[in-house]
């Protein structure tokens, strides 16, 4: 009895010959598409595969793009926002589409491991399977895809370490592996084309070497991991950064003043173990700076008074709040100034001064009585002043 796939393919060839209106797809690619179709299905409410009729030209299927007789791009699933997506697994036959340059699967309920055969896609430039339920480890063989530029496996159930081989890919530009269950250390990334590295919400640990990331990085998010050690030498090299989030880790050491001169729009370093004074070399123009919940000490630099949203709470800052903060607070150029839970001793502000309704100041639990009415977050507690004994002990 003839194989059903062969019957379909024979019908396909006959139709091609009869109509003579399109190029004949490579038989290997044709059979690979059939295998991929059999392993995936539409979730209720999705009609993505309605056009996948193998008695017609596969190059006209939804999400299939061809060049001559080869499939060069495969975008599986309805890309429109809110589409239910697909269910099933990615068949190992994907590795037969050797001319594939782009592979993506829309958010859905695709499960199972990534096939080792992906390593056969030597022309792959873009690979994205985000917001599904893909599990297992990232195949180290993906390091054989030397032309890969974008790798997005975010919001899945991936475990194990990030393969060292991924970091050696010479053309990588975007690496998005956030919201998985990845563990182990962050491998060095060698690509000088790398602009985005997003590894947040995993279980990564260990430290970062000073030369582990290239200076080309513009977006770096490592939050919600267990990473540790100093990063001052590493950060000082990344002068193209426009977004930096290292929050909720165990990083320690100094925060280099130089990073406050980078073109960053959002700086998130909260909930680590950074220590010592923080001294920007000039007025800080970063709109949002969060250094809260660390062990930073010394006096607060007036250079921070130009920050729109500033979180310095839950540190060990001492001394007076610089007068420039008061000026910018009263003219509403500062919207949030959180200084609670430090060891500050004063702020020169008229008790009758009216803080604009668009601005929030919190000074509670310092070594002073707050001179004005404040808008503090509920988690700041109810005590307005730090116990005198703590203040004397800290000064001593």
- Mean residue pLDDT across the chain: 93
Asked if residues 198 and 173 have their Cβ atoms less than 8 Å apart, the reply is no
What is the pLDDT at residue 59? Answer: 96
What is the pLDDT at residue 393? Answer: 73
What is the pLDDT at residue 23? Answer: 61
The mean pLDDT of 168-179, rounded to a whole number, is 98
What is the pLDDT at residue 379? Answer: 85
**Of 180, 24, 41, 194, which is closest to residue 105 (Cα–Cα)?**
41
The mean pLDDT of 95-114, rounded to a whole number, is 97
Give the span between the Cα atoms of 197 and 214, in whole angstroms: 11
Those residues with Cβ within 8 angstroms of residue 145's Cβ, 6 or more apart along the chain or in another chain? 118, 119, 121, 122, 124, 127, 169
The mean pLDDT of 152-163, rounded to a whole number, is 98
> How do residues 270-319 score in pLDDT, each as one tens digit?
999 999 999 999 999 999 999 999 999 999 999 999 999 999 999 999 99
What is the pLDDT at residue 18? Answer: 37
Q: Which pairs count as long-range contacts for 24-30, CB under 8 Å and 24+ apart, including other chains?
A: 24/69, 25/57, 25/58, 25/59, 25/66, 25/69, 25/70, 25/71, 26/69, 26/70, 28/96, 28/98, 29/58, 29/69, 29/70, 29/71, 29/96, 29/97, 29/99, 30/54, 30/58
**Of 110, 155, 161, which is closest to residue 139 (Cα–Cα)?**
161
Domains, the chain, ordered by start: 267-395 (3.80.10.10)
* pLDDT higher than 90, residue 54: yes
The mean pLDDT of 225-238, rounded to a whole number, is 98
Q: Reduced to 3 states, what is the DSSP secondary structure of residue 28?
A: helix
What is the pLDDT at residue 21? Answer: 37
What is the pLDDT at residue 377? Answer: 87
Tell me the two tokens of residue 350. Answer: 């008229």
Percent of the chain with pLDDT over 70: 93
Give the span between the Cα atoms of 238 and 174, in whole angstroms: 16
Give the span between the Cα atoms of 42 and 389, in whole angstroms: 66
Tell me the two tokens of residue 234. Answer: 């590493």
The mean pLDDT of 137-153, rounded to a whole number, is 98
> How do residues 359-376 score in pLDDT, each as one tens digit?
999 999 999 998 888 888
The mean pLDDT of 37-45, rounded to a whole number, is 97
* pLDDT higher than 80, residue 353: yes
Those residues with Cβ within 8 angstroms of residue 350's Cβ, 6 or more apart along the chain or in another chain? none
**Of 12, 85, 99, which is closest to residue 42 (Cα–Cα)?**
85
The mean pLDDT of 147-163, rounded to a whole number, is 98
* pLDDT higher than 50, residue 20: no
């Amino acid at each position: 009895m003839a194989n059903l796939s062969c019957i379909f393919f024979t019908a396909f060839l006959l139709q091609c010959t009869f109509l003579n209106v399109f190029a004949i797809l490579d038989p290997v690619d044709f059979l690979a598409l059939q295998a991929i179709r059999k392993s995936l299905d539409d979730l209720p409410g999705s009609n993505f595969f309605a056009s996948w009729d193998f008695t017609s030209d596969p190059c006209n299927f939804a999400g299939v793009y061809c060049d001559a007789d080869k499939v060069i791009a495969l975008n599986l699933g309805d890309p429109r926002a809110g589409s239910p997506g697909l269910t099933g697994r990615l068949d190992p036959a994907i590795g037969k589409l050797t001319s594939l340059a782009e592979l993506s699967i829309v958010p859905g309920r695709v499960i199972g491991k990534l096939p080792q055969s992906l390593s056969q896609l030597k022309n792959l430039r873009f690979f994205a399977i985000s917001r599904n339920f893909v599990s297992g480890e990232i195949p180290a063989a993906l390091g054989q895809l030397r032309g890969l530029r974008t790798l997005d496996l975010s919001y899945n159930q991936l475990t194990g370490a990030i393969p060292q081989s991924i970091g050696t890919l010479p053309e990588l530009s975007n690496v998005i592996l956030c919201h998985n269950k990845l563990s182990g250390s962050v491998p060095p990334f060698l690509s000088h084309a790398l602009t985005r590295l997003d590894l947040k919400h995993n279980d990564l640990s260990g430290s970062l070497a000073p030369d582990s990331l290239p200076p080309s990085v513009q977006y770096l998010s490592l939050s919600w991991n267990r990473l540790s050690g100093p990063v001052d030498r590493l950060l000082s090299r990344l002068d193209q950064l426009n977004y930096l989030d290292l929050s909720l880790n165990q990083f320690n050491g100094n925060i280099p003043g130089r990073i406050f001169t980078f073109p960053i729009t959002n700086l998130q370093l909260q909930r680590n173990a950074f220590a010592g004074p923080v001294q920007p070399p000039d007025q800080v123009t970063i709109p949002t700076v969060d250094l809260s919940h660390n062990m930073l000490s010394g006096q607060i630099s007036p250079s921070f008074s130009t920050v729109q949203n500033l979180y310095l709470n839950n540190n060990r800052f001492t001394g007076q709040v610089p007068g420039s903060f008061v000026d910018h607070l009263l003219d509403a150029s500062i919207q949030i100034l959180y200084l609670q839970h430090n060891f500050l001793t004063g702020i020169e502000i008229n008790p009758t001064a009216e803080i604009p309704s668009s601005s929030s100041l919190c000074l509670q639990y310092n070594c002073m009585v707050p001179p004005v009415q404040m808008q503090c977050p509920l988690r700041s507690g109810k005590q307005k002043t730090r116990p005198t004994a703590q203040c004397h002990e800290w000064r001593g």
